[in-house]
Structure 1
Amino acid sequence: MSNAKDVTDQSFQKDVLESDKPVIVDFWAEWCGPCRMLSPILDEIAAEHGEKVEVVKVNVDENPAIAAQYGITSIPAVFVFQGGEHVATSIGAKPKKVLEQEFAEYL
């Protein structure tokens, strides 16, 4: 199980949009194999870059409103939010090095 904080439809505004650090949001579901492959990679990124960025998870099955608001149609979908704005996206399970390159500006 991941060490990332679980965020809900109700807590998304406070935990993500109002954060003073960039937030990496992992949109995932329990039944999604690639999501389970990505989870430990995001845990590593959180452990290594936690002073600069927050890593959280949103279960799309349990939180359909926020998933719909951001147009999540494929998972895993990893979004970066900064200053309340969606600023970067990565779709699908990717190696850690690729994610770190895609999100280098925020790490």
Structure 2
Amino acid sequence: MTTNKIIELNDSNFKKKVLEKKCLILVDFWANWCSPCKILMPILEDLSKEYINKIKIGKVDVEKNNYISKKYFIKSIPTLILFKNGIIKETKIGSISKSQLKNLFNNYI
């Protein structure tokens, strides 16, 4: 089970793993060449463990998943979108600190 790991999301599994789930899911839209995305990754990994039964974290590689990236109008990365019960609650674009993410999570838990 992937409860404490980042979920790999793509065009084909996004609906099932995000939109149809009845929980909080933070989706990170990123790319391999993006330096701020690489800086954010260990923070997301830590938070996925810290919030193990409260929130799921997934990532979408924008280079490989055109459909879902276009659907959510991803223009800059990293872009983080927080979904609750399949509905967008918040969107954050650019670098974000661990404490800012924790504050975001705590607003919805």
Identity of aligned residues (%): 38
Equivalents in 1 of 2:96, 2:83: separation in Å? 19
Contact 2:22–2:86 (CA under 8 A) maintained in structure 1: no
Q: Report the equivalent of 1:19.
A: 21
The superposition leaves residues 31-88 of structure 1 with CA deviations (integer Å, 9 ceiling, x where unpaired) of 0000000011111111000201110000000001101000100100010111111111
Structure 2 unmatched ranges of 5 or more:
none
Question: Per the alignment, in what secondary structure is the counterpart of residue 83 of structure 2?
Answer: strand
Aligned residues between the structures: 105
Correspondent of 1:68 among 59, 67, 70: 70
How far is 1:106 from its partner? 2.8
TM-score, with structure 1 as normaliser: 0.93
TM-score, with structure 2 as normaliser: 0.91
How far is 1:100 from its partner? 1.3
Q: Please identify runs of 4+ aligned residues in structure 1 that moved more than 4 A.
A: none
Q: Report the equivalent of 1:32.
A: 34
Structure 1 unmatched ranges of 5 or more:
none
